[in-house]
Structure 1
């Protein structure tokens, strides 16, 4: 391997300038580029974007959508120095900033910005990725585990930088002794070759207009992505004729939708029965919140607690303040596949 190429220093760039630089290089002469955060998407492992959506963005056919977790992303950026500080403090490694944009020596499409670099006391250099997450995601980092989509990102960076070590500093609370994880990885050429083989294929697909399928993408993410890509339905378009190979999944959808309707009806019936039995209990409870029935096998605990919820009165708001109502009215769109079986 050879040392990476320094394309430019991104310090002081606006976000728009930085994104343009990452898309085609500082001179605008790289047709297609891939960064560390793209790798998981290409493998179908990104929690946020599908391979097809990324492909269309790289082709210029789709603009990146506004992030649904923009606040979390901004918070993660703000917490990078905190994560880097505690990594250096707890490991004893020297942590430094690096604002350069790098290009892989052998794969010109591979560009990388690093959160931080580090040097061990022995002099070995490495790449540091700073992450932050919520408490319910902390388990993903337990016992030095690394979420796979992040591991792919760091291995990509290690390859671009041509270094043998990489590490994460993940934080999720304000106690650095309990709310941090700092797993390290060493370079694995077999995994690296596998990653770049897939990336080479991806660049080929861009050059030859061969968009990827939604195979192996989580269904909910795939549907959300397709909605972002193709937008709302259009009434004027003709009916699509499906081939026979789609009969099985279409019939399965129809069967499952019928079962869901049956379950909904059964739920409503059970809720009515609960209400009917509850009338006498409510009469006995009156103003009391809690009751108990002791039996030979245990206790039955009864709660009859007032819960107050406050919601805007849409009707009153519309009548009294129609201009305000129209300003705050938020339209939401959704599309759902529905299959109806029509016998001949």
Structure 2
């Protein structure tokens, strides 16, 4: 595929007067920038299967945490991020409340936060982000989180724009603020378009579920959301014989893990036996030093504290203060996969 760069984006829909539900309905008509990482199996938050379900209107059996407040806060702070960016860079920023569509690949949509008047007269893109203070390390040394980078490059493709910036605010102080410039990469763009086209045509249009290829914890969490809580009264499922090799592999891996766990416990015991005489010398002290042959060893034996309620006290709480128990104690479900082998 050779990209034709002589195009202008279509206006898919004016978004200024849309409700959130209407806006989401329009988004489901194609792949937006925030969908790209999930469609390519690279999102840290969402599987391709979940994105597929969203596009065809399948609702999870169990709603996850309420993200509407987080979304609303992020949306409200877009203007703050844009103003800080304009102040720090001197670039002129403006908003165009439209959802755009790629004219050559109509499944590709873009709802761009802000646009930039560049000094040379060209137009640039500004993507505004807010993130938790503890995630600043993801932006260290000029880096951009990959799912955000894919989002911005998608917008560049739809809009036929060569320069974009992404800015992120981590707190209520503009000193906790970063921005990065992203250049258009036509080779990567062409490859991503082919992958997104495959996702849209092969899976969404044909109503075929994408395979679950993401990290196991993400996959299991997605399955839990869409299948709902465990049903102890549900009939036993018969798994096809083609899964027998996988079950044998599971048994072998579990046996290997059991051996390694035993080795780990033995090593833990040996470690404690070795440092017990040192702990005796330290008494209540939390630190110690040892020097030998020009080498200094720094020793820490510091306490760690964890708050919790014992089972007995939890039972007392339930009996004596049932209302407080219901308000404070949260029940969560986790499922344990067990496997045994017997002669049929």
TM range (shorter): 0.7 to 0.9
Q: Distance in 1 between matches of 2:257 and 2:185?
A: 49
- After TM superposition, the structure 1 stretch with the greater mean CA deviation from structure 2, 271-280 or 140-149, is 271-280
The 1:53–1:167 alpha-carbon spacing in structure 2 relative to 1, beyond 3 Å, is same
Structure 2 distance, partners of 1:97, 1:335, is: 47
SS at match of 1:239: coil
Contact 2:115 2:126 in 1 (8 A): yes
**Cα separation, 2, equivalents of 1:134 and 1:192:** 29
Q: Which residue of 2 aligns with 1:27?
A: none
The alignment partner of 1:168 has SS state of strand
Q: 1 CA distance for matches of 2:114 and 2:76?
A: 14
The DSSP-based 3-state class of the residue aligned with 2:99 is strand
Q: Which moved more, 1:332-341 or 1:298-307?
A: 298-307
Distance in 2, Cα, partners of 1:279 & 1:200 = 62
Q: Is residue 22 from structure 1 mapped to residue 27 from structure 2 by the alignment?
A: yes
Number of the residue aligned with 2:3? none
User: Which shows bigger deviation, 295-304 or 318-327?
Assistant: 295-304
CA distance in 1, matches of 2:33, 2:166: 14
Is the contact between residue 144 and residue 183 of structure 1 (CA under 8 Å) also seen in structure 2? no
In the TM superposition, residue 41 of structure 1 has moved relative to its aligned partner by 0.7
Name the SS of the counterpart of 1:156 in structure 2.
helix
Query: Within 1, Cα distance between the matches of 2:337 and 2:170?
Result: 38
TM-superposed CA distance for 1:65, in Å, is 3.9
Q: Determine the structure 2 residue equivalent to 1:342.
A: 342
Once the 2 structures are TM-superposed, how far is the Cα of residue 326 of structure 1 from its aligned partner? Answer: 3.2
Partner of 1:42: 39
Assess, with a 3 A threshold, how the Cα gap between structure 1 residues 191 and 341 changes in structure 2: closer, same or farther. same
1:190-219 alpha-carbon deviations (Å, 9 max, x no partner): 33333232222222222222211123x222
TM-score scaled by structure 1? 0.79
CA distance in 2, matches of 1:54, 1:65: 15
Further displaced range: 150-159 or 34-43: 150-159
Counterparts in 2 of 1:308-327, with a 5 A limit? 309-312=306-309, 313-327=313-327
Deviates more, 1:333-342 or 1:291-300: 291-300
- Residue in structure 1 matching 2:85, options 72, 76, 87: 87
The change in CA–CA distance for 1:3 and 1:276 in structure 2 (over 3 A counts) is closer
SS of aligned partner of 2:59: coil
Gaps of 5+ in 2: 1-6
- Residues 103-112 or 266-275, more deviating: 266-275
C-alpha contact (below 8 Å) 2:14/2:98 kept by paired residues:
yes
CA 103–306 in structure 1, closer or farther in 2 if over 3 Å, else same: closer
User: Which residue of the partner structure matches residue 58 of structure 2?
Assistant: 61
Report the counterpart of residue 159 of structure 1 in structure 2: 157
Residues 282 and 177 (structure 1 numbering): CA distance in 2 closer, same or farther, change over 3 Å?
closer
**What RMSD in Å do the two structures reach over aligned CA positions?**
3.5
Q: Would the aligned equivalents of 1:142 and 1:181 in 2 still touch at CA under 8 Å? A: no
User: Are residues 242 and 159 of structure 1, via their aligned partners in 2, closer, same or farther at CA, if it must alter by over 3 Å?
Assistant: same
> Secondary structure, in 3 states, of the residue corresponding to 1:213?
coil
Contact between 1:92 and 1:121, CA under 8 Å: does it hold in 2? no
Q: Is the 8 A contact 2:64 2:225 kept in 1?
A: no
Gaps of 5+ in 1: 24-31
Residue in structure 2 matched with residue 28 of structure 1 by the alignment: none
Q: 2:215 maps to which residue?
A: 218
- Shifted more, 75-84 versus 300-309: the winner is 300-309
TM-score by length of 2: 0.79
Query: Quick one: structure 1 residues 294 and 151, their matched pair in 2 at CA, closer, same or farther if it must change by over 3 Å?
Result: closer
Change (3 A) 1:292 1:148: closer
